């Protein structure tokens, strides 16, 4: 490792990779990436933190859904004009295609899309139509290897090298302090730690005095049902996104990460086991899974939504020695699921390691009530989802750091220190995370005098 770099990048998820690609495009070579996880060839699915940490981050490694819409997946429209965001989305998509993303797009507008939109309204749901380019789990690693190859001779990449602190002097960035005690000086630091780094970056911004407000925490369950029940939704939208405001509590409830013919999997963050899902491009199971998440925003004096989400996840782990599974019918009847009841279930679980149990001992009543209400409403447009044979896995938690005070170029109050991606609390998906890296890198290039003017805005990738 050299003593100093022009640009130091924390993390190697989509936001960090696209920042590096943007800088490389115009000849910047003095770049270092510090990643706490492993290289792409060494990452293994289902092995604890390796699903979340390492080259490519979490989402780009596990399933790879590229949401081609500026309306979902983040809050970048709070920072840049809509026209510029649209242009950057197109450039990000083109970059994924250049590294091997499939050309097929799901969820394109049609008469069926409009009919589903109207049907959802009648049921009390908001349906968000969008186009998706799905990499598929088996295609993620080859694409990430291509990106890795493009950087091999241009970027110094350090794996299993977590950053301990951001170094600042006189209100200006000076570099990063590594966990091993080494220092790497840098003129610019771009920090994209991902959701797995949300708690670390929260502590760092508090230490550095960067203004922020708590983000909502999303807590819910992973739902699994026979693929035939959800075929109407997956054929039209592939990943159907619905928003519902619960009748009892008026909480915002949403579907998330729908995986046609997919598998339910576990995630491990600092020994806390949560649940997620993914799907392959070609290999299929008999089931489709998706999450139902309830967004909770806390007010004074509570300021630790991440801690709250971790508490709920730990409770599930305590009761189930990991992930808990329960039939919807058992939950509604007020009884726990047993191995025998799961074996009799029409829907056979794709996560056999889950422990049959009772999720009502885990989730707060308002969360559980809101999820049950949404399943009941969803049944109006996809009959069969509110069946006693529907499987529920818990818990699924999405951790986001506090919403930070950032400039339109995603710079903090500290000069030359940029925060990007899901870990910074400004994005919620692969495409907007990628764009956030481009935005920060664009500004650095402008300051370096390497600006390139493009149609409708400045972009480089």
pLDDT per residue as tens digits for the range 168-211:
999 999 999 999 999 999 999 999 998 888 889 989 999 999 98
Q: Are 408 and 392 in a shared domain?
A: no
Of 362, 377, 398, which one is at a domain's C-terminal end?
Answer: 398
User: How far, in Å, CA of 79 to CA of 128, rounded?
Assistant: 22
Which CATH number goes with the domain that contains 18? Answer: 3.50.50.60
Q: Are 248 and 381 in a shared domain?
A: yes
Residue-level pLDDT at 402 = 74
pTM for the predicted model, two decimal places = 0.88
Q: Are 86 and 203 in a shared domain?
A: yes
Residue 260 lies in a domain: yes
Residue-level pLDDT at 302 = 79
pLDDT string in tens for the chain (461-residue length) = 888 999 999 999 999 999 999 999 999 999 999 999 999 888 876 555 667 789 998 766 677 899 999 988 899 999 999 999 999 999 999 999 999 999 999 999 899 999 999 999 999 999 999 999 998 878 888 999 999 999 988 899 999 999 999 999 999 999 999 999 999 999 999 999 988 888 899 899 999 999 887 777 899 999 999 999 999 999 999 999 999 999 999 999 999 999 999 999 998 887 899 999 999 888 899 999 999 999 888 777 877 888 898 999 999 999 999 999 999 999 999 999 999 999 999 999 999 999 999 999 999 999 999 999 999 999 999 999 999 999 999 999 987 777 888 999 999 999 999 999 988 888 988 999 999 999 999 999 999 998 655 554 554 44
Show the tokens assigned to 270: 């600092």
Q: Are 278 and 332 in a shared domain?
A: yes
Residue 301 lies in a domain: yes
Residue 19 lies in a domain: yes
Residue-level pLDDT at 399 = 75
Whole domain around residue 10: which residue ranges? 4-106+131-213+402-458
Query: What are the E-state strand segments in 179-251?
Result: 183-191, 212-213, 217-226, 242-245
Which residues have C-beta within 8 Å of that of residue 242, sequence separation ≥ 6? 120, 125, 126, 127, 128, 254, 255, 374, 378
- 117 sits in which H/E element: helix 111-123
User: How far, in Å, CA of 332 to CA of 46, rounded?
Assistant: 31
Residue 203 lies in a domain: yes
Of 350, 370, 398, which one is at a domain's C-terminal end?
Answer: 398
Q: Are 181 and 205 in a shared domain?
A: yes
Domain count, the chain: 2
User: How far, in Å, CA of 89 to CA of 131, rounded?
Assistant: 12
Residue 139 lies in a domain: yes
Q: Are 147 and 250 in a shared domain?
A: no
Which residues have C-beta within 8 Å of that of residue 316, sequence separation ≥ 6? 273, 323, 324, 359, 362, 394, 395
Residue 123 lies in a domain: no
Q: Are 160 and 297 in a shared domain?
A: no
Q: Are 53 and 140 in a shared domain?
A: yes
Chain Cα centroid distance, residue 289:
16
Q: Are 156 and 57 in a shared domain?
A: yes
DSSP 415: B
Q: Give per-residue pLDDT as tens, 61-98.
A: 677 899 999 988 899 999 999 999 999 999 999 999 99
Q: Are 181 and 308 in a shared domain?
A: no
Residue 112 lies in a domain: no
Contact at 8 Å (CB) between 102 and 133? yes
Residue-level pLDDT at 449 = 92
Residue 98 lies in a domain: yes
Of 398, 422, 442, which one is at a domain's C-terminal end?
Answer: 398
Residue-level pLDDT at 460 = 47
Q: Are 90 and 225 in a shared domain?
A: no
Q: Are 226 and 375 in a shared domain?
A: yes
Pairing status of strand 155-158 against strand 31-34: parallel
Residue-level pLDDT at 2 = 87
């Amino acid at each position: 490792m050299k003593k100093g770099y022009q640009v130091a990048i924390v993390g190697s998820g989509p936001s960090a990779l696209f920042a590096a690609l943007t800088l490389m495009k115009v000849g910047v070579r003095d770049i270092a990436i510090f990643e706490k996880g492993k290289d792409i060839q060494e990452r293994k699915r289902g092995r604890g933190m390796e699903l979340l940490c390492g080259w490519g981050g979490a989402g780009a490694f596990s399933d790879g859904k590229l949401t081609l819409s500026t309306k979902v997946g983040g809050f970048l429209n709070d920072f840049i004009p809509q026209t510029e965001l649209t242009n950057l989305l197109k450039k990000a998509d083109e970059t994924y295609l250049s590294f091997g993303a499939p050309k097929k797009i799901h969820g394109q507008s049609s008469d069926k899309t409009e009919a589903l939109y109207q049907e959802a309204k009648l049921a009390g749901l908001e349906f968000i139509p969008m186009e998706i380019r799905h990499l598929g789990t088996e295609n993620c690693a080859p694409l990430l290897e291509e990106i890795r190859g493009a950087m091999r001779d241009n970027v110094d990449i350090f794996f299993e090298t977590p950053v301990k602190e951001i170094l600042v002097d006189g209100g200006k960035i000076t570099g990063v302090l590594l966990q091993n005690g080494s220092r790497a000086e840098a003129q610019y630091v771009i920090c994209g730690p991902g959701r797995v780094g949300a708690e670390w970056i929260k502590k760092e911004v508090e230490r550095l005095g960067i203004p922020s407000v708590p983000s909502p925490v999303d807590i819910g369950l992973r739902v699994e049902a026979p693929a035939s029940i959800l075929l109407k939704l997956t054929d039209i939208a592939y990943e159907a996104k619905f928003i519902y405001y619960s009748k009892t509590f008026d909480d915002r409830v949403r579907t998330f990460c729908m995986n046609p013919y997919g598998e339910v999997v576990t995630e491990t963050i600092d020994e806390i086991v949560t649940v997620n899902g993914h799907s392959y491009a070609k290999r299929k199971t008999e089931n489709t899974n998706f999450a139902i998440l309830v967004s909770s925003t806390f007010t004074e004096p509570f300021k630790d939504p991440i801690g709250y989400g971790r508490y709920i996840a730990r409770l599930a782990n305590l009761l189930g020695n990991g992930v808990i599974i329960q039939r919807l019918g058992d939950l509604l009847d007020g009884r726990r699921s047993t191995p025998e009841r799961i074996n009799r279930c029409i829907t056979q679980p794709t996560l056999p390691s889950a422990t049959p149990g009772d999720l009502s001992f885990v989730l707060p009543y308002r969360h559980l009530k809101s999820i049950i209400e949404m399943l009941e409403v969803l049944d109006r447009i996809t009959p069969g989802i509110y069946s006693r044979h529907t499987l529920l896995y818990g818990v699924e938690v999405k951790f986001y750091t506090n919403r930070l005070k950032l400039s339109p170029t995603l710079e903090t109050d500290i000069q030359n220190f940029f925060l990007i991606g899901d870990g910074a609390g400004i994005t919620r998906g692969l495409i907007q995370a990628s764009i956030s890296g481009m935005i920060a890198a664009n500004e650095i290039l402008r300051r370096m005098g390497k600006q390139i003017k493009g149609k409708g805005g400045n972009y480089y990738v």
